Amino acid sequence: MKLSLLLFAFIMLFTNSKCFSDNQPYTIELEQISIPQAPSIHSFAFAQSGGKWLFIGGRTNGLHGFNALTSFPKQFSNIYIYVVDPASELTYSRSIFTDLPFAFADQLRSANMEYYQDGNKLFFIGGYGYDSTSNGLITFPQLKVIDVQETINAVMNGMSVAPYIRQYTNTNIQVCGGELHKLGDFFYLAGGHKFTGTYRINVNNQVYTNQIKKFRINDDGVNVSISDYTAFTDTAEYHRRDMNLVPSVKPDGVTQFLTLYGGVFKTSADLPYLNPIYIEENSITVDYSFEQKMTQYTTAHLNAFNSVTGNMHTTFFGGTSLYSANDTNGALEYDPLVPFINDITTLTKKSDGTSNEIVSPTKMPALLGTNAKFIFNTSVPHFDNEVIKLDQITQRTFAGYIFGGIKAELPNNGASTPSSYILKVFITPDFPLPVELSSFTSRISGRNLKLSWSTSSEVNNAGFYVERKIISDVNSDWENMKFIEGNGNSSSSNDYSYTENNMNAGRYSYRLKQTDFNGNFEYFILNGDVVIAYPENYSLMQNYPNPFNPSTIIDFDIPSSGYAQLKIYNVNGKETAVLVNEFKPAGYYSVEFNGGEFPSGVYYYKLEINGFTQVKKMLLVK
C-alpha cells in the first residue's frame, strides 16, 4: 500500500522565533513505499551502483539502548552486508563473519562511522562498536576501501566479499560521529570524537577531535594509504559531532565547496551549534551572521542549486532540533533537550551571501529522519557532487528516497526503534513565471465591462484564463470565463482585453490565471471589485428577435425585490404560458420563450411585480 503525503502548500520563513512567508524554491511530495525484507537500521554506511543499494554496519535498536551498565549493546550491531534492489523489491544479505576474520570484520558492524562513495569505491572510516580482540567497545582506527559493484554482486550471488575490501590503520582517523566528504583531490573529515571507554550516561568518556582533517586517500586496488595529511584545530567551533556536511555550489554555478550545518555539543552547554562552517579548498570560514534554528543533528538531506538565482538549497527531513514549529500557528518553540521533530525545512544560502530557513507546516509522517539517508536518484540532472541542477528541472521530478534512521515515539525521553519507513521524494521547482504584467484595469459602461491588461515582456506564455467570482453571492466560486491566447516569447509590450456585456447587478472580482506551455501558472488579481448597479426603474423590454421562430428573449428590470409574474397571452387574451412565477431579487433578467408548439400569430407578454404592470406585443412567424 502506498501513502501519498503532499508537502507543498504554504511555507514559512523564520528569523529568531517568528515565522514569515517567503517563496519556497521547490515543492516536496513524499510517497511511502514498502520493500519486503529491507533492513530496519540506522547509523550505517551506504553506497549504490547499478540501481542497487549497499548497506554496511549500523544498529538495529533505537537511540542507544542505555541501561545502568551498558550502551550500544553488541547484539544490536548489524552484522550483515545488505543489498536492496528497489526495482525488483528484493533484498539480499551476507554476514560479515562468513568471509572475514573477526579482527578485520568487527569494524564493519560499527555505527556512526564516516563514509563517502567516490565512483566505485566506498571509503569507510572509524566507527564505534564491539571489538572482539579487546572484548569491548572501541572507536576503530581503520580505513576500509570497499569495491561497491563487486561487493553487491558477491552478496547477490552468495560469494565471498573478502577480495573486495582493503584496510589501512592510522590513529589520525580513529573517529566516529564525524562526517567525511571529498572536495577536489582531498578528503575532509569534519568533527567527530573518540570514545575512551563504554558510553555511559553522565560519564564523559569521549574526546572530541576539535578538528577538520584534510588528506588524500591512495588506493591501487591492493594497498591503501593516506598522504598529505593536515589537521585544522578550533576547540570552540570544531568541537562538533553528529552534524550534516553537505555538498554545495557557489553562485558562479561552477565552484564547489562544503557546508557544515549543526552538530553537537557546545563546550559550555549541551546545546547544538547554530553557525554554519564553509569549507573551501583553501579556506575554512565560520558564518557568524546566520544561526540555524532547525535540525542540527545528522539527518536525511537533499541538496539543490539554482543557476538562475545563484541560490544553494539544502532540505532537511525531520531529525532532532533545538526548535520545532508549532502545529497550530507555525511559531518556533525552543527546547534545550533537542527533541526529535517531524518538520521539513529548507536552508538557503543566497547569492548575496545571506541565508534563510524555510519551514513547511506539512510534516514527516512520524518523528523520523535522524541518522537516516537520502538516497539520490542519479538520473536527475546534477553536479558530480550530487547537488541537483534545479534550473534544469521543469516538472514534478523523482529526486530520491529517504531510508532508515531512527523512529521516535515521543520528542523527548520516549522509546525509539530503527525506522522501517521508505519514502520516495518528489520535487517540483517553484520558479517565478516570466511574464511581467505592466497594467490590469477595468472599465464599466452601464451593464457592460471591459478588462484590459498589458505585458512588458513574455517568456513561454501560453495565455490567460479570465476568471470571475461573484462577491455578492456567498456560494460563488471562481469561474473560468474565457481563455485569451498569449504571445509565447516577446520582449516588447503586448495588450490584451476581455469584454462582458449585459451583466446582472452585483459585485464581482476578476483575476487572470497566466499559464505557460509547461502547465505552470500564476495569478494576477484585479485591484478593486467590479460593481454593476441595480436598475433604477421597473422596465419590460421588447423581445428579440421579433418577429421570431421558434424562440425569443424577453428582458426585464426590477429595482426592488418582489413576487414576479411573466405570462404569455394569445390575441384573444387567453393565457398560454407562464415564464416566471416566483420571488425575484432586484436585478436584470432575461427569459427565453419557445413558441415551437404554438401557431403563428400575435402574442402578448405581461410583467407584474410590486404593483407594476406592463404589456408588450410580439409576432411568431412560422
**Segment 187-242, tens digit of pLDDT:** 999 999 998 877 766 666 789 999 999 999 999 999 999 999 999 999 999 999 99
**Is residue 22 predicted with pLDDT exceeding 60?**
no
Provide the β-strand partners of residue 568.
577, 605
Mean residue pLDDT across the chain: 91
pLDDT at 433: 60
Assigned CATH class of 539-620:
mainly beta
Amino acid at 192: G
Provide the β-strand partners of residue 427.
28, 397
What number is the average pLDDT over the span 329-349?
93
- Contact status, residue 62 vs residue 71, Cβ threshold 8 Å: no
What is the tens place of the pLDDT at every residue in 168-178? 999 999 999 99
Tell me how far CA of residue 332 lies from CA of 289, 322, 368, 484, in angstroms.
20, 10, 19, 44
* DSSP 3-state of 104: helix
Rounded CA separation 458/21 (Å) = 27
Rounded CA separation 483/15 (Å) = 41
Cβ neighbours of residue 167 under 8 Å, at least 6 residues apart?
A: 104, 142, 143, 144, 145, 224
Rounded CA separation 296/68 (Å) = 28
What is the tens place of the pLDDT at every residue in 492-515? 899 999 999 989 888 899 999 999
- Burial of 157-179, coded b for 16+ CB within 10 Å and e otherwise, reads eeeebeebbbebeeeebbbbbbb
pLDDT at 201: 62
For 472, the grid coordinates are 455578492
pLDDT at 360: 77
What number is the average pLDDT over the span 402-429?
94
Dihedral angle, C-alpha 41, 107, 85, 5, nearest 10 °: 30
- Contact status, residue 215 vs residue 225, Cβ threshold 8 Å: no
pLDDT at 8: 32
Among the listed ranges 267-276, 423-432, 463-472, which one has the minimum average pLDDT value? 423-432
Quick check: do 3-429 and 435-532 share a fold? no
Each domain of the chain, given as residue ranges in start order, spans 3-429, 435-532, 539-620
Nearest C-alpha neighbor of 212 from the set 288, 276, 277: 277
The phi and psi torsions of 310 (rounded to 5 degrees) equal 75, 15
Q: Count CB-CB contacts under 10 A for residue 293.
A: 22
Rounded CA separation 465/485 (Å) = 9
Place of cell 554476514: 95
Dihedral sign from CA coordinates of 21, 27, 29, 30 = negative
pLDDT at 2: 34
pLDDT at 477: 87
pLDDT at 204: 63
Rounded CA separation 226/243 (Å) = 24
For 177, the grid coordinates are 560521529
**Is residue 520 predicted with pLDDT exceeding 90?**
no
Look at the pTM and tell me if it is higher than 0.85: no
Q: How far apart are the first and last CA of the chain?
A: 66
- Name the strand (E) or helix (H) holding 98: helix 96-99
How large a percentage of the chain has pLDDT more than 90? 78
What is the tens place of the pLDDT at every residue in 531-584? 998 898 999 999 999 999 999 999 999 999 999 999 999 999 999 999 999 999
Rounded CA separation 440/450 (Å) = 11
Q: What CATH code is assigned to 3-429?
A: 2.120.10.80
For 464, the grid coordinates are 490567460
Rounded CA separation 348/120 (Å) = 31
C-alpha neighbours within 13 Å on the C-beta side of residue 441? 6
Assigned CATH class of 435-532:
mainly beta
What number is the average pLDDT over the span 388-396?
89
Rounded CA separation 125/180 (Å) = 8
Tell me how far CA of residue 425 lies from CA of 98, 301, 375, in angstroms.
36, 11, 10
Rounded CA separation 145/230 (Å) = 21
Distance of CA 193 to the CA centre of its chain: 33
Place of cell 557568524: 288
Cβ neighbours of residue 391 under 8 Å, at least 6 residues apart?
A: 306, 307, 308, 429, 431
What is the tens place of the pLDDT at every residue in 278-290? 999 999 999 999 9
- Contact status, residue 466 vs residue 481, Cβ threshold 8 Å: yes
- Contact status, residue 573 vs residue 579, Cβ threshold 8 Å: no
Among the listed ranges 66-80, 372-386, 421-435, which one has the minimum average pLDDT value? 66-80
